[in-house]
């Protein structure tokens, strides 16, 4: 099962509206308790499921926590990106940051959906 975030945002590199955001890769640093995730964005779920190229550059985000136990790591990552929103007063124990100057909370409020690949 593959998951993606559905939320319309403007791609900062191209200015295009993109609404489907998926994990293209991630690294879990168990010693430092960080998860580094790369997110790519597509215009729609149709372009995502048909294997079309993403829009703009991948976004690298650091989640200062790691998935534990027998959970789906990809879904856990997307949950951290959609739920954790310090800007709107919603906080939890997970802090997120970015490796470049993008908004780490841009996916807050997005809806996690799944598709079969």
User: For residue range 27-41, what is the model confidence (pLDDT) as tens digits?
Assistant: 999 999 999 999 999
| pLDDT for 41 | 95
Sign of CA dihedral 114, 80, 13, 15: positive
For the entire predicted model, the pTM comes to 0.83
Taking a C-beta distance cutoff of 8 angstroms, is the pair 84, 91 a contact?
yes
- Tell me, what's the pLDDT at 113? 94
């Amino acid at each position: 099962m593959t998951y993606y975030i559905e939320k319309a945002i403007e791609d900062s590199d191209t200015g295009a509206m993109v609404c489907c955001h998926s994990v293209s890769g991630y690294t879990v640093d168990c010693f430092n308790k960080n998860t580094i995730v790369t997110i790519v964005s597509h215009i729609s779920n149709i372009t995502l499921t048909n294997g079309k190229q993403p829009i703009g550059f991948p976004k690298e985000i650091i989640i200062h926590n790691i998935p534990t136990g027998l959970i789906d790591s990809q879904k856990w990552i997307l949950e951290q990106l959609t739920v954790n929103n310090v800007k709107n007063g919603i906080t939890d124990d997970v802090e997120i940051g970015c490796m470049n100057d993008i908004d780490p909370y841009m996916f807050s409020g997005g809806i996690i959906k799944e598709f079969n690949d």
